[in-house]
Amino acid sequence: MQQPTVWSVSNARPFDPIDHQQGFDPGSVPPTAPGFQGELRCVVVDATGSPVGTNALVGEATLTTLATGDVAKYTAIGLQALPTLDGDATLCLGGGVSAACPNGAEYEGCPTSWSVDHFADGAPDPIAGTGSAVHTHLTIVPCTEHLDTSLPTTTTVVFRVTNEFEEVFSASLTVQCWADMNLGNSAAFLFLTLGTPFAQVSMTPSTGNPGFAVMMQEFHNPGTGGLIGSAAANAYTSTTTVPGGDLMVLPAF
């Protein structure tokens, strides 16, 4: 408790209590390979590696564009542990009693829907004005994950896009393992299609598909040769969870 730590994903953090790096030494954190793209999942465990329900983790990610020094931040997405957590390697995220989850849910489930307010893709930046444009990316990660086998999970995301005139457009995307979705790649999100500079998108898993988590990043291009600035944001979530729940299976510990 109350032991903040920090590390660079690319540079990692060796276990060295006297190296004077900021924050608590969490143990050896290995570096990622060059060009790595992926996610970080954290689980509170005891000295044996068994998951425990202390709900002691909060997190914040800082995204830095090395070429320009631009910085964007967002907070980690957390699921609260429940008293039914049994400490084995199969973590039951929502759902009821099943063969894999004899005690039912061990953590809160992933939400049934996520929503974000965003610029229509290609809409002008209201501050930079004529010639500028805003582009938005959504990072989507399935909640179900088999870390024991490294087999990727696939889910289908259904998008419902509403413009400022309350006109509704739709799209879908199949995500395997994870996706960085550029909204400009789908006509349903374009400024020319929506006809308004702002919109709201609601995202739900297709029926029978695993749940997922979402974060958003905007890129503001001034269109004058100036530096592109970015901003990251978390999505709004529903209070209901995915029927049937999700599973996160850890490697043997």
pLDDT in tens, 214-250: 999 999 999 988 889 999 999 999 999 999 999 999 9
Q: What's the first-to-final CA gap in the chain, in angstroms?
A: 23
Decide which of 34 and 240 is more confident.
240
> Which domains, ranges and CATH numbers included, belong to the chain?
65-72+93-249 (2.60.290.11)
pLDDT tens profile 110-169: 999 999 999 999 999 999 999 999 999 999 999 999 999 999 999 999 999 999 999 999
3-state secondary structure the chain: CCCCECCECCCEECCCCCCCCCECCCCCECCCCCCCCCCCCCCCECCCCCECCCCCCCCEEEEECCCCCCEEEEECCCCCECCCCCCCCEEEECCCCCCCCCCCCCECCCECCEEEEEECECCCCCCCCCCCEEEEEEEEEECCEECCCCECCEEEEEEEEEECCCCEEEEEEEEECCEEEEHHHCHHHEHHHHCCCEEEEEEEECCCCCCEEEEEEEEEECCCCCCCEEEEEECEECCCECCCCEEEECCCC
Long-range contacts at 45-49 (CB < 8 A, ≥ 24 apart): 45/253, 46/87, 48/253, 49/253
d(CA 63, CA 34): 16
pLDDT tens profile 160-183: 999 999 999 999 999 999 999 999
User: Encoding tokens for residue 125?
Assistant: 């930046």
* Model pTM score: 0.92
